[in-house]
Chain A
Amino acid sequence: EVQLVESGGDLVQPGRSLRLSCAASGFNFDDYAMHWVRQAPGKGLEWVSGISWNSGSIGYADSVKGRFTISRDNAKNSLYLQMNSLRAEDTALYYCAKGLRGVIPYGMDVWGQGTTVTVSS
């Protein structure tokens, strides 16, 4: 069974850092692009970042560029999101999603259940 399990969400103060992780299983992780998508309470989906199968192509939403860093460890079947200089507007449920193909532009066919990040003093 294809599965994505996110972890690392927490309540943090503005300006602090947090690292999210996503453990993948049930598929050849190193064949596919991976993404982070977030959803603020009561709001729509927002693409945060994506990374190609070999980390050769990486993209970020303008809202997080320069503050967030996506990475992956294919040996550990894991995806990460390092979040620095967190702001109140980063408060959201963060989903890990599997890309349909090895490069970023295609759809996301498998989603985790999400991990909650709350930024508040």
Chain B
Amino acid sequence: QSALTQPASVSGSPGQSITISCTGTSSDVGGYNYVSWYQQHPGKAPKFMIYEVSNRPSGVSNRFSGSKSGNTASLTISGLQAEDEADYYCSTHTSSSTLVVFGGGTKLTVL
């Protein structure tokens, strides 16, 4: 069981917007502004998409945005494109001895 809870799957049509949630506790998501998001296409290594809740690394499309409210972080993808179809994972720091936790991942399907 993952420490952070994500929906198993989400879907949307090209051009639409979707949001993926990542729910934790006050010991992880709610306690720190260290939430990161990763995109993983089948057979590929994860790609860094968002850091510190809402910051985009250079080269990442501005269609990707992050936010946080309380113990839940969110990744929003606007103007969905076929190439966005992938698995998405959230991650953050935790005050437990583990230090870092991932969500279980969300499969995005572009219809």
Are the CB atoms of A59 and B57 closer together than 8 Å? no
Contact of B46 among A59, A60, A95 (CB under 8 A): A95
Question: How distant is B49 from chain A, measured CB to nearest CB, in Å?
Answer: 9
Known: A45-B38, A100-B51, A107-B52. A50 touches B45 (CB 8 A): no
Docked complex Cα distance between A107 and B97 (Å)? 17
Contact of A47 among B40, B47, B91, B97 (CB under 8 A): B91
Q: What are some 15 contacts across the A-B interface (CB < 8 A)? A: A35-B100, A37-B46, A37-B102, A44-B87, A45-B89, A47-B100, A47-B101, A104-B93, A106-B51, A106-B93, A107-B36, A108-B36, A108-B38, A108-B46, A109-B57
Asked whether A112 is an interface residue with its Cβ less than 8 Å from the other chain, the reply is yes
Are the CB atoms of A44 and B102 closer together than 8 Å? yes
Residues of B within 8 A of A (CB): 2, 32, 34, 36, 38, 40, 45-48, 51-52, 57, 87, 89, 91, 93, 97-105
Docked complex Cα distance between A101 and B77 (Å)? 26
Asked whether A30 is an interface residue with its Cβ less than 8 Å from the other chain, the reply is no
Residues of A within 8 A of B (CB): 35, 37, 44-47, 50, 59-62, 65, 95, 97, 100, 104-114
Report the nearest B residue to A4, measured CB to CB. Answer: B45
Question: How distant is B58 from chain A, measured CB to nearest CB, in Å?
Answer: 10
Report the nearest B residue to A61, measured CB to CB. Answer: B98
Contact of B51 among A107, A112, A113 (CB under 8 A): A107
Contact of A106 among B2, B34, B47, B97 (CB under 8 A): B34
Question: How distant is A102 from chain B, measured CB to nearest CB, in Å?
Answer: 14
Question: With a CB–CB cut-off of 8 A, which chain A residues contact B48?
Answer: 100, 107-111
Given contacts A107-B48, A109-B48, 11 further A-B contacts (CB under 8 A): A44-B103, A45-B40, A47-B101, A47-B102, A50-B100, A65-B97, A100-B36, A100-B51, A105-B99, A109-B57, A112-B45
